[in-house]
Structure formats: C-alpha cells, structure tokens
Amino acid sequence: MPTFTKDSPVYTYYPLFKWGVYSLLAINIVLFFLHETFIEGLETLAWVALLLLFEWETSQLDKPYINKWEKYAIHLGRLLAYVIILYSAYEYATPEYRAEHGPLDMYNSLTWLVIVALLEYDVYANGLYGRFEWHVRNTIKIILYAALFVYAGMWAYEGGILDFYDATLWIICFFAIELNIFKFEETLPYSGEEEVRDKPAS
C-alpha cells in the first residue's frame, strides 16, 4: 500500500486526485439526467450524496462527532440516499425494466448494496472484529469489486461508453473510501489482541 507520511508525494497529490475524481462523478449526475433514464439520474445523485457522507465519516474515524446535529444530519442524509438507492434497485429488478434494458443494472445495483453494507459495518464496528473476520470481510469485498469490473467490461463491450465510464469512476471513488478505512484500521489492534499484547511474558 502507498505510504501517507507528510514527506511522501502520495500524501501531497492523492487528495487532489481523489477530489478530482469526485468532481468528475458529480458531473455524471448531469450526464445521466440528460442521456439516460430519470431513475438512473436520480440514483446517481443519491449515490454521490452517500459517497460524500462516507468520505466525511471515514476521514473522521478517529474523531467524535462535533455535536448531535452533525450526527443527525449525517444519518438523515444517509437514510434519504438509501431510500432512493433501494427504490432504484427495485426498479432495476422489475420485469419491465429488465426486458427493456437487460439484467446488468440490477446485478450492478445489488453488488453495490452489499459493498455499502460492508462499509457501514466498517464505520460502526471499527476495531471490534478479529483478524479472521477482517480477512473474510475484505476477501468478500475483493470478489464484489471484481464483479463490478466485469460489469464495466460488459457495458464497454455492449457499447455503453457512459455506463463504462461511470462504473469505472465509482470503483475508483470507493477505493478512496476503502483507503480511508485502511489508514485508520492499520493503527488499531484486532479485537482480543490488546490483552495478548499487554500480557507480560511469563
């Protein structure tokens, strides 16, 4: 993994790269409303909101909420985003939508839902899981992200350039969220290992 010391070039340029990609993704909201279905545009808007909320929370994992209003605002924003995202997933799964557009949107949406469920667990259970659980969770994530790359390739093969471009941006953006979590987790012991580490040698 890249190092994030203050003397590292990655430390200097990575935030610029990350927010540049986030900005491109925000532009996609307009592109999807103009060139794709309304439900896809609405879903993209909700996902961008959810991404930014994850970015805020995962970059502040070592800090408490400023006040209760910050906490409530984040939870409310996430709830609204999830309502739209779940509604979109339902629409993608309807026989009418699949007959017109195929099942790929449905598979992509369901895969992302599982990923964000794991990210929610990362945010609210940091440091509470053991080493084996950490490896299992991240192995599942690797499989899910690999599936997203497959979906993106299928869109490119079918000529859906905007879908391919959008899917690739999303993967890059959520890798940034994963990196926020990794940076925080590497400072924590696994659950149950604190006692072993602190136990004096006999």
pTM: 0.78
Residues 167, 133, 145, CA angle at the centre, nearest 5°? Answer: 10
DSSP letter assigned to residue 64? -
Kindly give, in sequence order, each residue whose CB lies less than 8 Å from that of residue 99, ignoring residues fewer than 6 positions away.
none
Please report where in the chains the tokens 């209003």 appear, as a residue: 69
Please report where in the chains the tokens 């994992």 appear, as a residue: 61
The mean pLDDT of 179-183, rounded to a whole number, is 77
User: 4 vs 70, which has greater pLDDT?
Assistant: 70
Question: For residue 99, is pLDDT > 90?
Answer: yes
pLDDT tens digits, residue range 183-201? 766 665 555 555 444 444 4
**Ramachandran quadrant class, 158 (left: phi over 0; alpha: psi -120 to 50; beta: rest):** alpha
The mean pLDDT of 125-137, rounded to a whole number, is 72
As a whole-number percent, the residues of the chain with pLDDT over 70 amount to 79
**pLDDT-wise least confident of 5-9, 84-88, 152-156:** 5-9
- Per-residue confidence (pLDDT) for residue 153, from 0 to 100: 92
Mean confidence (pLDDT) of the chain: 80
Of 2, 29, 28, the residue nearest 15 (C-alpha): 2
